[in-house]
């Protein structure tokens, strides 16, 4: 209810501004401009809300920074199934959401969807794969299937709620394993099978300096980090044992 009231208040402010609303056709805001990743982070809901100048389908696209993904397929060797050669994919977004108030094939023509990159396949256009010859030739389709199965890629033609003739809202569920960086959010207003208005937003996913240094040390110096943690645990256990022994004697 609070978020809906925030949308209404935002709409009133835009109407009061007058010309901005009529000229742009689409005005959008985020419930959070940035998200901090801490040791207790389990995910975050991000509300995208705004107003549109006239009726039409609203499309919201979120794309995260890229990540490296290793793919492989099972091959049979005798009676056993083992992992085949790995395919290292670079440049594929870790998260890609494409939400709309109605199915995209109804809201936009194929030419318009292709022009604005409004398919999940389009987010993989910049991805490149390094693999031995013949290893998983259809890696794009395999990656897309894997990402949709895990929920990191999402296509939903009924996820944008049109609260009234002018208000709309959509919610992104960021998972716990979100990558650090700047997320690009594009919002489109479609009418008559084509895009008539567009707005862009940025969402910053940050990590506090201590957690960032700790995560970097664990990644870059895994052996030294593991050894240090083990020695620290041994020292803590020894100190606790000595303290309990002294306490029971006292």
* Cβ neighbours, 10 Å, residue 81: 10
Same-domain check for residues 130 and 6: yes
Judge contact between 66 and 92, C-beta under 8 A. yes
Residues 131, 75, single domain; the answer is yes
136 and 199 together in one domain: yes
Map tokens 């208040």 to a residue. 9
Q: What is the DSSP letter of 39?
A: T
User: Domain with 198 in it: what CATH number?
Assistant: 2.20.130.20
Does residue 4 register a pLDDT over 80?
A: no
Domain co-membership, 39 together with 137: yes
2-34 exposure pattern, b = at least 16 Cβ within 10 A, e = fewer: eeeeebeebbeebeeeeeebeebbbbbbbbeee
Q: For 237-249, how does the pLDDT look when each residue is reduced to its tens digit (9 = 90+)?
A: 777 777 677 767 6
Q: Are residues 97 and 180 in the same domain?
A: yes
Tokens of 148: 């949709």
Q: Which domain holds residue 202?
A: 2-207
Mean pLDDT of the chain: 80
Kindly state the tokens that stand for 131: 């693999």
User: For residue range 104-143, what is the model confidence (pLDDT) as tens digits?
Assistant: 999 999 999 999 999 999 999 989 988 776 666 788 888 9
Within this chain, do residues 197 and 216 fall inside the same structural domain, yes or no? no
On whether both 121 and 9 belong to a single domain, the answer is yes
Same domain, 8 and 61: yes
Strand-by-strand arrangement of the 66-71 sheet: 66-71, 87-93, 128-130
Largest CA distance in the chain: 85
Tell me the pLDDT tens digit for each residue of 42-75: 899 999 999 998 889 999 999 999 998 888 776 6
Give the pTM. Answer: 0.72
| DSSP H or E stretch at residue 98 | strand 96-100
- Whether 156 and 238 map to the same domain: the answer is no
Q: How far lies 238's CA from each of 232, 234, 235, in Å?
A: 10, 6, 5
Residue 244 and residue 132 share a domain: no
132 or 154, which is more confident: 154
Report pLDDT for 182: 94
Residues forming a β-bridge with 34:
204
Regarding whether 239 and 202 lie in a shared domain, the answer is: no
Question: Is residue 164 domain-shared with residue 217, that is, in the same domain?
Answer: no
């Amino acid at each position: 209810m609070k978020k809906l009231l925030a949308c209404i208040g935002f709409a009133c402010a835009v109407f009061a501004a007058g010309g901005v609303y009529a000229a742009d056709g689409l005005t959008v805001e985020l419930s959070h401009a940035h998200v901090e990743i801490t040791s207790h982070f389990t995910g975050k809901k991000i509300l995208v809300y705004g107003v549109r100048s006239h009726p039409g389908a609203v499309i919201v696209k979120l794309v995260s920074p890229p990540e490296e993904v290793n793919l492989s397929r099972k091959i049979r060797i005798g009676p056993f199934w083992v992992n085949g050669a790995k395919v290292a994919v670079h440049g594929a977004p870790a998260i890609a959401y494409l939400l709309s108030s109605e199915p995209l094939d109804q809201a936009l023509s194929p030419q318009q969807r292709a022009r604005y990159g409004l398919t999940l396949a389009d987010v993989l256009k910049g991805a490149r794969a390094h693999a031995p010859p013949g290893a998983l030739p259809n890696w794009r389709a395999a990656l897309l299937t894997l990402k949709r199965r895990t929920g990191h890629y999402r296509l939903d033609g009924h996820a944008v709620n049109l609260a009234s003739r002018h208000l709309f809202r959509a919610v992104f569920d960021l998972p716990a394993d979100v990558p650090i960086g700047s997320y690009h959010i594009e919002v489109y207003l479609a009418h008559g099978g084509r895009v008539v208005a567009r707005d862009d937003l940025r969402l910053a996913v940050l990590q506090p300096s201590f957690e960032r240094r700790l995560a970097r040390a664990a990644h870059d110096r895994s052996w030294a980090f593991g050894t240090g943690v083990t020695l620290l645990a041994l020292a803590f256990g020894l100190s606790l044992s000595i303290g309990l022994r002294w306490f029971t004697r006292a």
